[in-house]
Each structure stands twice: as structure tokens, then as C-alpha cells.
Amino acid sequence: MLPSMSSFYDNLEMWIKRQEEVKNLFGKAEESYENADRLTLITLARLAFHQMERTIEAFDNWLKDPLITVHMPREMLVELWSKLRRILYELIDLDVEHTRKFAEHLKELESKGLINPLFTSRLASNEEKRQRRPTVTI
């Protein structure tokens, strides 16, 4: 084994170990999520997004590196895409479903007069800012 490769392999093993530890921690943290309060559920979701962002960024950097990808066999890339596409479509479906349900929930709250006035104030403020922006054309 080349001396420089040893530290590279060590880094790969450390990454794998950290990812497995994070997975185990999430498993422990979410054991009773069905009974968790709203703050805990929001925290779990945000931590999950953060972990996904870190993992995606690392994966993207990995695939940007020509010294890595030149050694990656096509079969591994096919396998990767096969798994990524399922995750991608599932994430898009989750986003659409969640956004649709939340929109319906907000409409129901609005019909009952239960929307927090600060929420509508923020929406109005954002709309004003959008109207004041100059139109950019290419």
C-alpha cells in the first residue's frame, strides 16, 4: 500500500464510522417521536435536514473530484443513480404532499379567523418588498 493512500483510507473509515454513529443517534432520538411535542419534532426535522445537507454536500464534492471519479467504475455510478433517483422522487413527493396539506390547513385556519396576525403582516411586508424590486431583464 502506498504511504499516502493509508491516510486516505483512514479518512474514508472515519467518515463511515461518523455516518453510522449519526444514524444510531437519530435512531435513539426518534424512538418515541409519535408522542413528541412540536418543538422536539421540529428539532428532529431540522437536524435531519442539516445531516442530509452535510451528506449531500460531501457526496457532491466527492463526485466533483476527478481524481476520485476517474477510479469509480460505471457500475458503481449506475447503482448510485438508481438509489439517488428513488430518494429524489421520494423527497419531491414528500415536499408536494407536505406543502399541499399545510396549504389546506392554513385555508381552514383562515376560514375560522385563526391565522396569527403577525403571519399575515409578514406576508404583506414580503409582498411590498417584492413589488419595490426593479425588474431584471437579460
Average model confidence (pLDDT) across the chain: 91
> DSSP label at 115?
S
Q: How many CA atoms lie within 13 A of 133 on its CB side?
A: 9
DSSP string over 31-79: TTGGG--HHHHHHHHHHHHHHHHHHHHHHHHHHH-HHHHTTS-HHHHHH
Grid cell locating 113: 379567523
- Per residue in 44-99, pLDDT (tens digit) is 999 999 999 999 999 999 999 999 999 999 999 999 999 999 999 999 999 999 99
Residue 108 pLDDT exceeds 70: yes
Do 6 and 14 contact (CB within 8 A), yes or no?
no
Instruction: Pick 47 or 125 by higher pLDDT.
Output: 47
* Mean pLDDT, rounded, for 29-42: 94
DSSP string over 87-111: HHHHHHHHHHHHHHHHHHHHHHHHH
Do 44 and 33 contact (CB within 8 A), yes or no?
yes
Q: What is the pTM of this model?
A: 0.80
In single-letter form, the type of residue at position 41 comes to L
Lowest mean pLDDT among 4-8, 13-17, 56-60, 74-78: 4-8
Grid cell locating 31: 424512538
Residues 6 or more apart whose Cβ sits within 8 Å of residue 40: 33
